[in-house]
Amino acid sequence: MKLAVWLDGVIYRIKLDEKLYEIYKNGSREIPSPPSAELHPDYGVLRKYERDMAILSPFSEEDTGKLVEIARLRPSFVISNSGKTKPSIEPYKRLFEVSGWDPLDVVSLGSSPLDLLSSRFYDSRVRVLCVNRGERCDRYSPTFVIDELNDMERALKVLRVI
């Protein structure tokens, strides 16, 4: 199993959905700057999966690198915003080109409807886990919802990926 985790919303308390959707809708290639951000207290659970984990980010390579460093995570891949981010297919397209991973082996971990849409637009076979961070991921498509990252291992067992 490989894990693709969205930096904003899952690891950090950052909500950019309205801004990102507006950028996507207008066809802009704007790259947002991260607001001052606070880490979610349960993000440390992800360290167990670092070897087979990629972090997806709507921020520039420089900003993403700083945020990943602050979180002290060492994922195998970091996919930052190169001009198009969620809900477009671009982040997942780049992830699969760089990693060589098979979409059937990937679980995407998000916290918003845009995270889900980005995954589904690329390949509907990518499994999606939604962390309930105050916004319902399953608004557009059914998905498995967990209340916190501490529930992730149980959810992965239910999905039969571990």
Q: What is the pLDDT at residue 84?
A: 84
Please compute the mean of the pLDDT values over residues 41-60 and round it to a whole number: 96
- 42-67 mean pLDDT: 96
* Contact between residue 7 and residue 57 where contact means Cβ atoms under 8 Å apart: yes
- Confidence (pLDDT) at 106: 96
Give the list of residues 6+ apart from residue 33 with CB closer than 8 angstroms, or none: 59, 60, 63
CB 85 within 8 Å of CB 91: yes
Instruction: Identify the band that residue 44 occupies on the pLDDT scale cut at 50, 70 and 90.
Output: very high
Q: What is the mean pLDDT of residues 114-137?
A: 88
Residue 24's domain spans which residues?
2-158
Does position 28 have pLDDT exceeding 90, yes or no? no
**Measured between alpha carbons, how far is 107 from 146 in angstroms, rounded to an integer?**
13
The tally of domains found in the chain comes to 1
In contact, 118 and 91? CB cutoff 8 Å: yes
For the stretch 79-113, pLDDT in tens is 999 888 888 899 999 999 999 999 999 999 999 88
Which CATH number does the domain housing residue 154 bear?
3.40.50.1000
pLDDT at 152: 95
Indicate the SS3 state at residue 42. coil
Percent of the chain with pLDDT over 70: 97
User: Is 90 exceeded by the pLDDT of residue 2?
Assistant: yes
Quick one: 145 exposed, middle or buried, by C-beta within 10 A (0-12, 13-18, 19+)?
A: middle
d(CA 148, CA 143): 15
| Local confidence band at 142 (pLDDT 50, 70, 90 cut-offs) | low
